[in-house]
Amino acid sequence: MQPAYVSKSLTAASANNIAQSQTPAGAGNFILNGATVVNGVAVLDTARQVLLTFAASEVGHNFTIFGTNASGAPISEVIAGTGIGTAPSVLNYKTVTRVAISAAATGAIQVGTNTVGASDWRNLNLGVSPFNASLALILTGTVTAAVNYTYEDPNNPITPGGQPTAFPFAALATPPKTVSTDGGSLNTPVAAVQLVISAGTGTATLVIDQAGVGSP
């Protein structure tokens, strides 16, 4: 089997590249007017987390983000407002089509991106024996990256419409890596792996070599 490669890089974070500072006077949508917005849609460099920045406490307010993932599938989530500071999304968005607030804002709010972005899940072959999958991270430039795995089918997670439960692959995630690292083998069968960047603008590449002979 030939090695498989998953690569990812992020441009620099920006607190307002989706929506510049604004204070909605009631429930409704933010004006998407950041640097990434084209014809009313924020088009990001790659699928990555969205970041809300609060100038005042927005506790009790909910924010709903709508958009698409790296594959173009519609995704959305609700983020609870916090005190002064920031609140990141859980999901990774390639585009943001709408951001809504549940009530009048207390203070100014910006919508942008942070330094975190994850690849799509890469399925492994559960029908081979032995299962052994060897993993390595190749990092170029300044970047911090890690690898997760899941036992769930990413296309059919336990929670309908949700995300599979991610677990850190300790050899490549504890702590996250800043230099190229051989992670050794995953010997216990898992359904899929994922590359996560947590900082930097370099390129991270996950290399996957899986052994075994397919089941008859």
Judgement on whether residues 88 and 138 belong to the same structural domain of the protein: no
User: Does residue 160 sit within a domain?
Assistant: yes
Task: Quote the Cα angle for 106-108-113, to 5°.
Answer: 125
Q: Give per-residue pLDDT as tens, 146-170.
A: 999 999 999 888 877 778 999 999 9
Judgement on whether residues 103 and 141 belong to the same structural domain of the protein: no
pLDDT at residue number 159 = 79
Does the pLDDT of residue 214 top 80, yes or no? no
User: Does residue 2 sit within a domain?
Assistant: no
Q: Give per-residue pLDDT as tens, 39-86.
A: 999 999 999 999 999 999 999 999 999 999 998 989 999 999 999 999
Domain boundary among 114, 139, 154: 114
N- to C-terminal Cα distance for the chain? Answer: 17
Whole-angstrom Cα distance, residue 10 to residue 199? 8
Domain boundary among 81, 114, 147: 114
pLDDT at residue number 216 = 41
Task: Take residue 186 and report the two structure tokens written for it.
Answer: 């995953």
> Would the pTM of this model clear 0.85, i.e. be above it?
yes
What domain range is 21 assigned to?
13-114
CATH of the domain at 75: 2.60.120
- Got the DSSP string for 26-39? SSEEPP--STTEET
Please, are residues 52 and 64 in contact by the beta-carbon 8 Å criterion? no
Task: Quote the Cα angle for 16-40-100, to 5°.
Answer: 65
Judgement on whether residues 20 and 110 belong to the same structural domain of the protein: yes
